[in-house]
Amino acid sequence: MRKDCTDLFEVMGRRRSVRSYLPDPVGEEDLNRIIEAACSAPSAGNLQAYRIVVAKDPETRRRLADACWGQRFVAEAPVSLVFLAEPAVSARRYGTRGAELYSLQDATIACTFAMLAAHALGYGTCWVGAFNDEAVLRAVGAVGAGLRPVAVLTVGRPRASPRTTGRRPVEEIVTLDTLERPFPYSASDPRLRRPSM
């Protein structure tokens, strides 16, 4: 039996975007766990203003890949999770801010939790954000439901080791107290470091 990788820093540090998949299915128990992880994420007012469509059917996956401007690995992955913001749910309590910001953030962090959980279970994932919104809605039968697609998360066993991407230098991104003052960053956990960080 495969052992879960439960060290959060290990999981975050080892994750890479995977764009080539084996046909091996994602186990039902694993899929349920990934979904539980997504739904356990925090959300504004605990409203969970999103929907998740689990795309397993090959025809649905093919249509999703087309919707993602022909990114073929989307059809290759045995499962994709489609995260859709549900603005009306958040708008009921938070008005425009709920509709335009919180619902997107709710869906985004749910997807993040799912991505890390899938990786902890030994799957590869890729966050796909380049798609035609209407085509994604059509692919998952959600036209006219008031939903906005936020992310397509592919999940499956990696076919090959994905490449390691670098990161911008921390100093370019992080400051102390104000935007101008440098933050005295020093490297801490080698597992989390990427080239040029």
Ligand X SMILES: Cc1cc2nc3c(=O)[nH]c(=O)nc-3n(C[C@H](O)[C@H](O)[C@H](O)COP(=O)(O)O)c2cc1C
Beta carbon nearer to ligand X, 70 or 144: 70
Nearest CA to 111 out of 40, 18, 16 is that of: 40
**Rounded least distance, CB 29 to ligand X, Å:** 26
Q: Bridge-partner residues for 79, per DSSP? A: 155
Closest CB 82 distance from ligand X, rounded Å: 13
**Minimum CB distance to ligand X, residue 67 (Å):** 11
Span 154-183, contacts to ligand X by CB under 6 A: 165
Which x/- pattern over 125-154 shows residues binding ligand X (rule: CB under 6 A)?
Answer: -xxxxx------------------------
CA–CA separation, 151 and 53 (whole Å): 11
- Cβ-closest position to ligand X: 129
Question: Over 47-110, what HEC string results?
Answer: CCCEEEEEECCHHHHHHHHHHCCCCCHHHHCCEEEEEEECHHHHHHHHHHHHHHHHHHHHHHHH
Minimum distance, C-beta of residue 11 to ligand X, in the bound complex (Å) = 13
Beta bridge partners of 153: 81, 127
Angstrom distance (rounded) from CA 78 to CA 193: 30
| Closer Cβ to ligand X, 16 or 138, answer by number | 16
Binding site for ligand X (CB under 6 A): 16-17, 19, 71, 126-130, 165
